[in-house]
């Protein structure tokens, strides 16, 4: 993995032809396009505090980007909570649904996606969120999300396994009618990076600064923000 500041030199030494021809961009949503991760953190802390526990980044990093039930099982096991994963999810969902409609865009997200749309680059959202949660999270952004060429949610019938399995990205590529190697994925979570690489796609990661960076080292490029992304480095139109 290389950083944004190192990419130009790397491209210069490898030549841009070393990178696959990108025809489509696939975006994760939570923590990448929309600033929703803080909701998950706050709500989970509210729940686990009743049992005298703290929800720390060492716990969250194991849950990021994964299917809800798998994440819940991890939380209950790691913190040894005296509740069932399903009970935690039910309580969490009720609390999250109150917060999701207030989700704001992450820095640079709207600008980048609209820039690529103007350049006629195919774009899709590939989120582990259910269709219901997706609808709530995009409450303030209907116009923006209508601009994507495809939306794939985690409960799509063709997705057998959630991230880090490649299913969701392969479904998105199929919807856009492009090959996996022609896709560039934007992710913020370790499971999403794994899923993109398993799908045979290139991946740019924009991780939370608190995340152990070793967990996303397989990404092709690491950025601090979407504002740093330079389309020309991937032979994409500016």
**186-207 pLDDT, tens digit each:** 999 999 999 999 999 999 999 9
Domain boundary, last residue among 83, 102, 121: 102
The angle formed by the CA atoms of residues 124, 219 and 104, to the nearest 5 degrees, is: 45
What percentage of the chain exceeds 90 in pLDDT? 80
Mean pLDDT of 46-66: 89
Can 28 be counted among the known catalytic residues? yes
Can 233 be counted among the known catalytic residues? no
Give the residue numbers spanning the domain of 92.
37-102
Q: Are residues 211 and 157 in the same domain?
A: yes
Mean pLDDT of 156-179: 97
Domain count, the chain: 2
Residue 2 has pLDDT above 70, yes or no: no
Q: Are residues 177 and 80 in the same domain?
A: no
Q: Are residues 77 and 153 in the same domain?
A: no
pTM (two decimals): 0.86
Q: Which residues pair with 124 in a beta bridge?
A: 26, 150
Residue 135 has pLDDT above 90, yes or no: yes
> What is the spatial distance between Cα 41 and Cα 111, in angstroms, rounded to a whole number?
27
Least confident of 18-22, 60-64, 190-194, 227-231: 18-22
Select which of 28, 167, 188, 220 is catalytic: 28
Domain boundary, last residue among 57, 77, 102: 102
Q: Are residues 63 and 16 in the same domain?
A: no
């Amino acid at each position: 993995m290389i950083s944004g500041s190192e990419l130009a030199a790397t491209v210069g030494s490898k030549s841009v032809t070393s990178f696959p021809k990108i025809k489509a961009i696939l975006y994760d949503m939570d923590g990448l396009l929309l600033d929703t991760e803080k909701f998950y953190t706050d709500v989970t802390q509210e729940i686990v505090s009743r049992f005298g526990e703290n929800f720390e980044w060492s716990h969250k990093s194991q849950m990021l980007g994964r299917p809800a039930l798998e994440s819940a099982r991890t939380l209950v096991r790691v913190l040894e909570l005296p509740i069932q994963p399903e009970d935690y999810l039910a309580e969490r969902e009720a609390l999250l649904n109150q917060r999701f409609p207030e989700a704001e865009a992450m820095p640079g997200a709207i600008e980048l996606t609209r820039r690529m749309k103007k350049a006629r680059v195919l774009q899709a959202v590939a989120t582990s969120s259910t269709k219901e949660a997706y609808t709530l999270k995009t409450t303030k952004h209907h116009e923006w999300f209508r601009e994507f060429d495809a939306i794939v949610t985690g409960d799509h019938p063709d997705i057998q396994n959630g991230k880090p399995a490649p299913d969701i990205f392969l479904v998105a590529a199929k919807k856009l009618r492009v090959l996996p190697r022609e896709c560039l994925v934007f992710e913020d979570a370790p499971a999403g990076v794994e899923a993109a690489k398993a799908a045979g796609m290139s991946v740019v990661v924009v991780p939370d600064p608190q995340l152990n960076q070793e967990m996303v080292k397989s990404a092709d490029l690491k950025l601090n923000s979407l504002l740093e992304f330079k389309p020309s480095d991937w032979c994409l139109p500016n």
